[in-house]
Structure 1
Amino acid sequence: MIELLVETTNLPVDGREFSFDEQRIWADPIAEFHLPYRISEPFSAVIHVVPHADGCTVEGTLRGSLVLSCDRCVEEFTYPVTAEFHEFEAYPGGDSQDDASSDGPADVWWVVVKDGLHYLDVAGFLWEQFQLALPEKPLCKVLCRGICAGCGANKNLDECRCAASGSDPRLAAFRSMKLS
């Protein structure tokens, strides 16, 4: 992942807006982690960073499109990714981080300190927002009928070829059983 830092310590009180369209923010991790999708429309993000005494507020939007594989029928489809976010990122060493430094799981902090100045790791922050915008179960359409487990036909495009036989031959022994 590329390093893309925005210095937050000396921003104006009302903040500053930044635009990002460097595709490596998204393409590098997709390739590095061998993720099962590809970019179809370039991504862009606009963020507004407002500094506070103990952190910074980051709000903005993320837009682009991916080609995903449907979880039911395995056909590829284009998925528009649109995310709006409003997050508070605490500066390292604050009271909220002291509580988190116990034996519990480590939290991700997107603000780092270099030479006494606070920097927002924009690439990491935008990658997180990108991941949060993706569906848990990508579907080509809400009523996707999937693939037949018997013959493998895509039920969205074809009729199931095994439906005509009427029954599963593996269950033939149970047909002659009588229940009393």
Structure 2
Amino acid sequence: MILSYLAGLGASLGLIIAIGAQNAYVLRQGIKREWILPVVLVCAASDAALIFSGVAGIGAAVQSAPMLLQVVRWVGVAFLVTYGFFAAKRALRPGSLRAAEGRGNGTVWAAVATVLALTWLNPHVYLDTLVLLGSLANAQGDGRWAFGFGAVTASALWFPLLGYGARSLSGFFARPAAWRFLDGFVAVLMASLAAMLAFGG
């Protein structure tokens, strides 16, 4: 069982550590020190729900419903393009950390809604968690739930580390040029992810 747990931990870390729309948003919230706890809780809880669903076998049902993934795909493309547009707009009008905090999402509900959209409107999250991790878990036989708990542990460790660890960068991001770099990077990342979703099949 411990080997299955460690396999799940390693597989999940390998999938979630790569920078993506969700991680970029958690990083930005951490730097701003704005609504970090609810954001990381939503990320970890969403991953847990998807991973355990995959272990339970729902991934097979998702694979058999390509039209559903297509709908999620194009809504996700629209959301990423919009999010990237606003990041580019911020990059063209950079401010200090104080100014960035002042023009942030504002409320906890807006922050939660944004991270929910970045998580659940990304069809790759279903392929990574429901399908890939679900398939790897079920290959473990009796150890599949231990694998699932290992994968969930990875998310529970990674998102708080990213969100609260980013706070140490707040001094650097007190400079307008640093925010211009971050928002420019986020804009390019969102545009790239949107293009990958739109044209990647």
Tell me the TM-score normalized by structure 2: 0.25
Query: Larger Rg: 1 or 2?
Result: 1
Larger RCO of the pair (alpha carbons < 8 Å, separation 6+): 2
Higher strand share: 1
Higher helix share: 2
